[in-house]
Structure 1
Amino acid sequence: MKMKDKVCIITGAAGGIGYGIAKRYVEEGAKVAIADIKAEAADKAAADLTAIGPGEAFGVTMDVTSEDAVNAGVKAVMDKWGRVDVLVSNAGVQIVHKIEDFPFDAWKKMLAIHLDGAFLTTKACMPIMKAQKGGAIIYMGSVHSKEASPLKSAYVTAKHGLLGLARVVAKEGGQFGVRSNVICPGFVKTPLVEKQIPEQAKELNISEEEVVSKVMLGQTVDTEFTTIEDVAEVALMFAGFETNALTGQSVVVSHGWFMQ
């Protein structure tokens, strides 16, 4: 098993993509901290995953926009398992508006969760990984780390920013064996995306069916949503790739929507 006994922290892992990655890691024997702002959901997800095995999981309450909460969560992992081998910064939300209508508070919330969360969790885990002489930090980007869409100014800005952060982590962490990567999914049918469908239909004055077929999947090669399992396999690859050969790189997982 590629991940046997590796200690992993995954933010926003009580559901969606984060849960899918956690499940894949546990299947490979990892010890996974389900870090989520929803404490009960994190505990339930951890119990469900531990029951699946062969790895194990436990829930950690974490608001990724709070430095104190992040530090406390990472400390809880260290107290339990004594190391951190993999950080997956996955927590995120989506808010859509035209730029002129985008509330500034909503803009700040988006950047805080996506960028502050990535920075604070990295800041907390980096010294641990350096001391261990190894670790993997994986950021959940998006096709919108490389492309833009209407109504998503804050999201696109945040996801572009993760590329820069990952590259700096690669430069600073390389001599210590600390690697960084960004996974850039296309549209994955999670509650986050399902929430966008009626919102974009309203903003763009088109049907929900057109949002899916034209806006979301129109540029793919097969009009298929990217799956959570697709993303989890890439997260497994990056977590288990233990040289600096791929550090600082991003991979798009989008059924051909965006090609590099």
Structure 2
Amino acid sequence: MRLRNKVALVTGAASGIGREIASAYVREGAKVALADLDLDAALAAARAIDPAGAQTLPLAMDVTDEEQVEAGSARAIQTLGGLDILVSNAGIQIVSPLVDFPFAQWKKMLAVHLDGAFLTTRAAMRHMMGHGGGSIIYMGSVHSKLASKLKAPYVTAKHGLLGLARTVAREGAEHGIRANVICPGFVMTPLVEKQIPEQAREFGISEQEVIEKIMLKDTVDQQFTTLADVAEAAIFFASFQSAALTGQSLLVSHGWAME
């Protein structure tokens, strides 16, 4: 088991990518705090992943709320015995042309993706600095590297995570803290499923054309990235043993973007 005796906090863990990472971490021997805005969903995810309840802790957490992040992180550390891994995964998507984008929605998008990453990182680092270090993993996107129409705040936020990870890598190095970004392609989660009809309406094309001509057009095999693909990358970053791998980003996108 690659994460035996490790403790992880995963945000946005009740569904989609976050839930898959939490499940993979438990299989690899870690104890995992599943933090989510929806506590009932986090409880259900924890029961499904760990029926005995020995390796999971469901937490209610709005990652844009400083008090909730501090309290939830402290509870995870106290209950599970530390914090070695943070996966900053919580995210939302709102699709709209920039000229029509309400400022309130812009601020909400950046708050979830960037304020949430900052607040959870700060809480994690404060513990990790005195306890042997750890691994901080941000859920970026191919949109950390490229841009698409209708996604101005999402692209902006995902680009911003690269800068945050590189800064954390610098500041955390002397304390044994590594920071990296996973950049998936389109994964068929509720977040992506919701975009298909939205983009079909905006572009005046069919939903199948959205999939074929927008989402998968530039992949090498016209395949969606899977939850398991992303979870494996999260295990890789969490289990890597040295600062040889820090401040980096890993594209997991079937070749949609290449570096």
- Asked whether the equivalents of residues 27 and 52 of structure 1 are also in contact (C-alpha less than 8 Å), the reply is no
**Residue 20 in structure 1 maps to residue 33 in structure 2:** no
Q: Secondary structure at the match of 1:124?
A: helix
Partner residue of 2:106?
Answer: 107
Structure 1 window deviating more from structure 2 (233-242 vs 77-86): it is: 77-86
Alpha-carbon distance change, 247 to 52 in structure 1, aligned in 2, over 3 angstroms: farther
Structure 1 window deviating more from structure 2 (157-166 vs 69-78): it is: 69-78
Deviation digits for residues 192-212 of structure 1 (CA, Å, limit 9, x no counterpart): 000000000111111111100
What is the rounded CA distance, in whole Å, between the counterparts of 1:5 and 1:133 in structure 2?
Answer: 14
Aligned letter for 2:65? S
Identity %: 61
Partner residue of 1:89?
Answer: 88
Partner residue of 1:194?
Answer: 193
How many residues align? The count is 259
Return the offset for 1:43.
Answer: 1.0
**Residue 45 in structure 1 maps to residue 51 in structure 2:** no
Q: Secondary structure at the match of 1:187?
A: coil
Q: Secondary structure at the match of 1:258?
A: coil
Deviation digits for residues 143-183 of structure 1 (CA, Å, limit 9, x no counterpart): 00000000000000000000000000000000111000000
Return the offset for 1:51.
Answer: 2.3
Aligned letter for 1:71? E
Return the offset for 1:52.
Answer: 7.9
Partner residue of 1:134?
Answer: 133
Partner residue of 1:2?
Answer: 2
Equivalent positions of 1:58-69 (< 5 A) are: 58-69=57-68
- If the length of structure 1 is used for normalisation, what is the TM-score? 0.98
Cα RMSD after superposing both structures: 1.0
Deviation digits for residues 88-127 of structure 1 (CA, Å, limit 9, x no counterpart): 0000000011110011111001000000000000011101
What is the rounded CA distance, in whole Å, between the counterparts of 1:182 and 1:141 in structure 2?
Answer: 6
Partner residue of 2:211?
Answer: 212
Alpha-carbon distance change, 52 to 223 in structure 1, aligned in 2, over 3 angstroms: farther
List runs of 5+ in structure 2 lacking aligned partners.
none
List runs of 5+ in structure 1 lacking aligned partners.
none
Partner residue of 2:35?
Answer: 35
Partner residue of 2:97?
Answer: 98
Equivalent positions of 1:121-160 (< 5 A) are: 121-160=120-159
Q: Secondary structure at the match of 2:50?
A: helix
